[in-house]
């Protein structure tokens, strides 16, 4: 398993395995801004690739406000169902942690729908809840709390 920055040629595998609700065009359109963010040292869309297939992804973004430059946020965290429970989430979080540490950040943040497997998984990865927004997410006929989590960035 290799964790690396996204490349343009990842679009088809990324769409098929991680963003299946998106069209190929929508997924492909995410990649150029991700590459630009990496070049400017403010964000990195990471993919977990095995045998040419993208099995997971997340984007780590340094917060822009001058008073929050020590914080980085993980967004778009997706692991294909076949790779869940394999330790891939930990590898992606570790890679995001490394990127954020390289930018001088000391806090890593993530959010998720409350009451889901993701909330338990993030806690298992060392994240701690710092906030909860009741009914923060609405998906069709379901409502979920938005759970905000954080962890200190581990030293190198």
b/e per residue 28-65 (b: at least 16 CB within 10 A): bebbeebbebbeeeebbbbbbbeeebbbbbbbbbbbee
For the stretch 97-116, pLDDT in tens is 999 999 999 999 999 999 99
The per-residue pLDDT for 40 is 85
The per-residue pLDDT for 87 is 92
**pTM of the complete model beyond 0.85:** yes
Q: Tell me which residue range forms the domain holding 80.
A: 2-152
State CA 103 to chain mean position distance. Answer: 17
The per-residue pLDDT for 154 is 78
For the stretch 81-93, pLDDT in tens is 989 889 999 999 9
Residue 33 CB contacts under 8 Å (≥ 6 apart), including other chains: none
Location of structure tokens 């960035």: 153
Among candidate residues 26, 40, 88, the one with its CA nearest the CA of residue 14: 26
> What CATH number should be reported for the domain holding residue 131?
3.40.630.30
Q: Check pLDDT > 70 for residue 156.
A: no
The per-residue pLDDT for 85 is 87
Share of the chain above pLDDT 90, in %: 85
Number of domains in the chain: 1
The per-residue pLDDT for 155 is 75
Give every strand in the sheet of 43-50, ordered side by side. 2-5, 43-50, 53-62, 71-79, 107-113, 142-152, 128-139
For the stretch 46-71, pLDDT in tens is 999 999 999 999 999 999 999 999 99
């Amino acid at each position: 398993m290799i964790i690396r920055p996204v490349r343009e040629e990842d679009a088809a595998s990324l769409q098929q395995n991680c963003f299946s609700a998106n069209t190929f065009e929508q997924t492909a359109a995410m990649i150029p801004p991700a590459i630009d963010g990496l070049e400017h040292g403010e964000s990195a869309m990471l993919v977990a690739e095995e045998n040419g297939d993208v099995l997971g992804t997340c984007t780590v973004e340094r917060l822009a406000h001058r008073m929050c430059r020590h914080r980085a946020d993980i967004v778009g965290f997706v692991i294909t169902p076949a790779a869940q429970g394999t330790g891939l989430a930990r590898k992606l979080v570790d890679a995001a942690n490394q990127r954020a540490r390289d930018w001088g950040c000391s806090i890593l943040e993530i959010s998720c729908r409350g009451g889901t497997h993701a909330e338990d998984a993030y806690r298992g990865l060392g994240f701690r809840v710092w906030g909860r927004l009741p009914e923060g997410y609405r998906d069709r006929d379901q409502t979920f709390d938005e759970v905000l989590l954080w962890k200190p960035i581990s030293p190198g």
